[in-house]
C-alpha cells in the first residue's frame, strides 16, 4: 500500500498491526490507489473470484489461510434500501411501502450472493473492503470441503458445520 504508518518511538507492534493501520489510513484518506481499485471493482462483475485478499490482516483474523482449498470472492452489493414496485389495480394496504430495509446485513447478503455463484464451496466469513456512491464491496472467504487440505483440518471442518 502507498500509505505507510511511521512508528513512534517506544511504540512496539507486530507487522500485522502496522499493515492494519495503513489500510485504515488509506480508507479514511481515500488514497489514489483506493480510488483506482474502486473504479476497477465497479466495472467488474457482481461476484468475482480473486487470487488473494485485498486486506490480508482482516482475512486472516476471520479464518483465511494461504493454502489450497481456500477461495476469496469479491462481491458488490447495491447501497441503500430495496425499492419495490407500486401496487397495481386498486387499494392494497399491505403494499403501500415503497422502500424496505433488508433483513440481512451487507456481509450476509454478500455471502448469499457468493454461495449462489460457488455452489460447491462453504462460506467461512465476509468483511467490508470499500464503498463508493453506488456499491459496497465485500470479500467472502470460502473453503472447499472436498479438498484433502480442508477436510483433514478438524477445527476448520467444525467451523464449517461439517463433522
Domain ranges of the chain: 15-159
- When mean pLDDT is compared across 10-19, 70-79, 99-108, 136-145, the lowest value belongs to 10-19
Do 149 and 70 form a contact (C-beta atoms < 8 A)? no
Residue 129 to residues 93, 114, 143, 157, Cα–Cα distance (Å): 40, 15, 19, 26
- When mean pLDDT is compared across 8-17, 57-66, 132-141, the lowest value belongs to 8-17
Do 139 and 126 form a contact (C-beta atoms < 8 A)? yes
Please check the confidence at residue 80 and state whether its pLDDT lies above 80: yes
Residue 138, C-alpha cell as written in the block: 465485500
Instruction: Provide the pLDDT confidence category of residue 118 given band limits of 50, 70 and 90.
Output: very high
Instruction: Provide the pLDDT confidence category of residue 21 given band limits of 50, 70 and 90.
Output: confident
Whether CATH 3.40.720.10 fits 15-159: no
Task: Provide the whole-model pTM.
Answer: 0.80
Amino acid at each position: 500500500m502507498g500509505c505507510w504508518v511511521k512508528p513512534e518511538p517506544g511504540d512496539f507492534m507486530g507487522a500485522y498491526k502496522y499493515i492494519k493501520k495503513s489500510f485504515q489510513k488509506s480508507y479514511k484518506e481515500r488514497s489514489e490507489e483506493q480510488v483506482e481499485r474502486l473504479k476497477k471493482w465497479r466495472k467488474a462483475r457482481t461476484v468475482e473470484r480473486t487470487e488473494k485478499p485485498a486486506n490480508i490482516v482482516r482475512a486472516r483474523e476471520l479464518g483465511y489461510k494461504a493454502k489450497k482449498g481456500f477461495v476469496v470472492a469479491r462481491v458488490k452489493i447495491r447501497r441503500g434500501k430495496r425499492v419495490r414496485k407500486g401496487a397495481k389495480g386498486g387499494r392494497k394496504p399491505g403494499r403501500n411501502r415503497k422502500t424496505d430495509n433488508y433483513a440481512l446485513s451487507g456481509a450476509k447478503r454478500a455471502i448469499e450472493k457468493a454461495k449462489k455463484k460457488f455452489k460447491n464451496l462453504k462460506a467461512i466469513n465476509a468483511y467490508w473492503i470499500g464503498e463508493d456512491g453506488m456499491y459496497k464491496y465485500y470479500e467472502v472467504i470460502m473453503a472447499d470441503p472436498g479438498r484433502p487440505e480442508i477436510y483433514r483440518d478438524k477445527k476448520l471442518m467444525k467451523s464449517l458445520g461439517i463433522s
